[in-house]
Structure 1
Amino acid sequence: MIMNNKGLERSLFIFPGQGSQSLGMGTKLLDKFPKLKTFYDVGSEILGYDILDVIRNDGKKINETLYTQPSIFIDSLVKESLLLANNIFPNAVAGHSLGEYSALVSANVIDFEDALRIIKVRSYEMQNAGIENPGKMLALIGATHKQIKKICDQGKILVIANYNSYDQVVLSGDKDSIEKAIINCNEIGVRRAIPLKTSGAFHSPLMSSASKKVKEIIDSIKFNDATIPIYQNTNPVGEKIGGKIKQNLINQIENPVQWVSTINNMEKDNSNLDFIEVGNGKVLTKLNDKILKKSKTLTFNMINF
């Protein structure tokens, strides 16, 4: 379905994170808009390898954290550039986990190059932390607050990583705790428990070593005040002060993604504006459909170029 772009001149941009990737994502746009290759060329220079080749041709690497994160980031910024070129601008922005880096660029807090330099370190350190401190993630569908607390209390390291929608949370923890949680979910009647294919226990204390390394590079980069409000994972209010945005980003890797609060606050603060998922797929669109009261969310491929 191709939407008429009328009414989208001011929208709310949301950027997806890890798990939204697919082989070849966004590359067909290069046939129609060859100038977009600049994003991949600059990205490859910073990363030290051909990122476009990974996205186009390597079905194994694109699902490895080291390559997944920069691939998703570049894909989102390529697509955002097309929206801007067609006079579709963000009134406010947010991103889910990794997607927050795309949102920072969109809000002019940091530039594309600096964001990618951070992501280069982030992706390596998060993948490495997953090797040093093996962990897993588990999505729970239809669990009550009481059930979630009971499950987490029975784990060694087991925490809520993502508040994705009213009926979906994601747990993160060591392997034994996640495996025990799956059994407990069945015993206490949680509707569904879905193990996720990730390389580590993201947004948990098991990412402590990665968080320290990422903090070092974040601290070395100047964060400008945002030109539009950014709603961050750890503090989902419309923030524009660069120093506060930096600290919120530093806190992100070990703390939960507050997606429900993010979307509720964005809708409340920006009445009558619709959301656009700027990136690959429709993961966030599906989550938003379960959260939003009045606004709607469009996927990128619904926009007419």
Structure 2
Amino acid sequence: MNAYIFPGQGAQFTGMGLDLYEKSTIAQKLFEEANDILGFCITDVMFKGSAEDLKQTKVTQPAIFLHSVILAKTLGHNFRPDMVAGHSLGEFSALVANGALSFEDGLKLVFKRALAMQKACELQPSTMAAVLGLEDAMVEQVCKTIDGVVVPANYNCPGQLVISGEVDAINSACEAMKTAGAKRALVLPVGGAFHSPLMEPAREELAAAIENTPFKAPSCPIYQNVTAFAVSNENDIKRNLILQLTAPVRWTQSVQQMIADGATLFTEVGPGNVLQGLVKKINREAQTTAATFTPNL
């Protein structure tokens, strides 16, 4: 069975999407449509902007979404998913790819999500840290001993769990993780505590937008971050999308469940190859590949 997986924030790179635009008429049309929907030329930043330009919140998330979704659209008849999943932001790309969301509605939600998350970040100093070489259960246990808000945020693969919370609490947690046996505990260069209770203001703002957006029955199940199980019901999909901002990304568990449900090939659709690496760390026997577009569609 074919599993298609879609990356999240951090996968961006300078010049992203330019090859699609130059070689696919479908891509050109969708990129121009995106400029109109967003009200600014995101293509200028994606194709010609610096790494610093791409780090702007209002650019990063829609840029990765656009690269992933437009790449999927250029695959034509070669795009035949039996199941999909996306890492954090990538969940929106996956939902457009499997037909649950329209391209326009997906992009509008991603843009609203980016701005809402930025606002939440500005309310309180917060950050994230990667904990390497410690079992998930130990990371969870250490988080509970720290004063302040600090929670597991991204279960990326065995031995790699990202924690999220208040700056002081994260710094304390990093020291405690090292004492508990972590190989490394590194504060990440991010501006907020994503997938933590500190994103509650963003969750409330996004919830209203999601509730007012039409969703359709998907062409195949999506394994959502919040549950790590196959979901096909539109109302369940919407509920899980809303919960996602304050809940952890259960990527390890999602990939394990997809394999248990019959996934034999994981195809990463979008910029970078981070998810392929994570899948291999979760299960060394899993087959992975990157999607490549078909020109002139």
Deviation at 1:152, TM superposition (A): 4.2
Alignment equivalent of 2:13, drawn from 22, 39, 63? 22
1:81 paired residue number = 73
Hey, what does 1:6 align to over in structure 2? none
CA RMSD of aligned residues (A): 1.7
What is the CA–CA distance in structure 2 between the aligned matches of 1:152 and 1:82, rounded to whole Å? Answer: 46
Query: Distance in 2 between the 1:147 and 1:267 partners?
Result: 25
Mapped to 1, the partners of 2:166 and 2:271 lie a distance apart of 29
Shift of 1:31: 2.4
Q: 1:67/1:155 Cα in 2 relative to 1: closer, same or farther (>3 Å)?
A: farther
Percentage of identical aligned residues = 36
* 1:197 alignment partner in structure 2: 189
Q: Which residue of 2 aligns with 1:258?
A: 250
Question: Aligned residue for 2:163?
Answer: 171
Would you say how many aligned residue pairs link Structure 1 and Structure 2?
293
CA deviation profile, 1:88-141 (whole Å, cap 9, x unmatched):
311110000000001111111110100111111100010111111221010111
User: What's the secondary structure of 1:256's corresponding residue?
Assistant: coil
Runs ≥4 in structure 1, deviation > 4 angstroms? none
CA distance in structure 2 between the partners assigned to 1:49 and 1:292 by the alignment: 42
Answer whether contact 2:72 2:79 (CA < 8 A) is retained. Answer: no
Q: Deviations over 1:128-167 (max 9, x none)?
A: 1111122101011111322541244214000000111111
Q: Measure, in 1, the Cα distance between the counterparts of 2:144 and 2:23.
A: 49
1:170 maps to a residue whose letter is V
Query: Which whole-Å deviations, capped at 9, do the CAs of 1:243-301 have from their partners, x for residues lacking one?
Result: 11111111100000010111111111124x30100000011111101112533111235
| 1:119-130 alignment, distance < 5 Å | 119-130=110-121
Partner secondary structure for residue 194 of structure 1:
strand
* TM-score where L is the length of structure 2: 0.93
Mind listing any 5+ residue stretches in structure 1 that lack a counterpart? 1-9
Paired AA for residue 83 in structure 2? A
Contact 1:166 1:290 in 2 (8 A): yes
Residue of structure 2 equivalent to 1:161: 153
Question: Secondary structure of 1:169's match?
Answer: strand
Aligned partner of 1:223 among 197, 210, 215: 215
Q: Deviations over 1:218-260 (max 9, x none)?
A: 0101221222111100012111111111111111000000101
How do 1:30-179 residues align onto structure 2 when only pairs under 5 Å count? 30-59=21-50, 60-83=52-75, 85-144=76-135, 145-179=137-171
User: 2-side partners of 1:304 and 1:214: how far apart?
Assistant: 34
Gaps of 5+ in 2: none
